[in-house]
Amino acid sequence: MKKELQKRLSKYTAAAAALTVGATGVNAQIVYTDVDPDFSHLGDEIGVGLDMDNDGNFDYILVSADTLVAGGPRVRYTIVAPYGSVASMNSIAGETPSAYNYALALNMNDMIDNTLNWIQSTNTMAYNVDSANPYNENWNGVTDKYLGLQFSTGGSTYYGWARLDVQAEADIWTLKDYAYNAGQVGIEAGATVGITEGTMEQLVHFINQANNTVLVRVNENISNANVTVISASGQTVQTGVVENGEFSVNMNGLTAGIYMINVASDQGVITKKMMVH
Per-residue pLDDT tens digits for 133-172? 888 789 999 999 999 999 998 889 999 999 999 999 999 9
CA distances from 89 to 13, 38, 102 (A): 24, 28, 18
Using the 8-state DSSP alphabet, how is residue 255 labeled? P
Q: For residues 69 and 71, give the distance between their C-alpha atoms in angstroms, rounded to a whole number.
A: 6
Q: Average pLDDT for residues 74-93, to the nearest whole number? A: 90
Predicted local confidence at residue 122, as pLDDT: 95
* Residues 164, 54 within the same domain: yes
What stretch of H or E contains 259?
strand 257-265
pLDDT band at 37 (very low <50, low <70, confident <90, very high): confident
* Residues 84, 123 within the same domain: yes
* Residues 203, 69 within the same domain: no
CA 237-205-231 angle, to 5 degrees, is: 20
End-to-end CA distance of the chain: 68
Structural domain ending residue among the three candidates 166, 188, 210: 188
The yes-or-no verdict on residue 67 having pLDDT over 80 is yes
* Residues 117, 240 within the same domain: no
Predicted local confidence at residue 133, as pLDDT: 86
pLDDT band at 99 (very low <50, low <70, confident <90, very high): confident
Instruction: Specify the range with the lowest mean pLDDT, choosing from 46-60, 194-208, 222-236.
Output: 194-208
- For residue 252, what are the contacts with CB-CB under 8 A and spacing of at least 6? 212, 213
Predicted local confidence at residue 155, as pLDDT: 86
* Residues 13, 130 within the same domain: yes
Structural domain ending residue among the three candidates 188, 206, 230: 188
CATH of the domain at 251: 2.60.40.3080
Predicted local confidence at residue 7, as pLDDT: 46
pTM exceeding 0.75: no
* Residues 65, 118 within the same domain: yes
* Residues 123, 245 within the same domain: no
* Residues 86, 6 within the same domain: yes
Structural domain ending residue among the three candidates 188, 209, 241: 188
Q: For residues 239 and 54, give the distance between their C-alpha atoms in angstroms, rounded to a whole number.
A: 43
CA distances from 99 to 28, 123, 136, 164, 268 (A): 36, 11, 13, 25, 40
* Residues 86, 183 within the same domain: yes
User: Do 258 and 271 contact (CB within 8 A), yes or no?
Assistant: no
User: Do 150 and 118 contact (CB within 8 A), yes or no?
Assistant: yes
The yes-or-no verdict on residue 196 having pLDDT over 70 is no
* Residues 173, 203 within the same domain: no
The total number of structural domains in the chain stands at 2
Using the 8-state DSSP alphabet, how is residue 126 labeled? E
Peptide bond into 82 cis (omega under 30): no
* Residues 166, 225 within the same domain: no
The boundaries of the domain holding residue 72 are: 2-188
Q: pLDDT (tens digit, 9 = 90+) per residue, 54-64?
A: 888 899 999 99
* Residues 183, 204 within the same domain: no
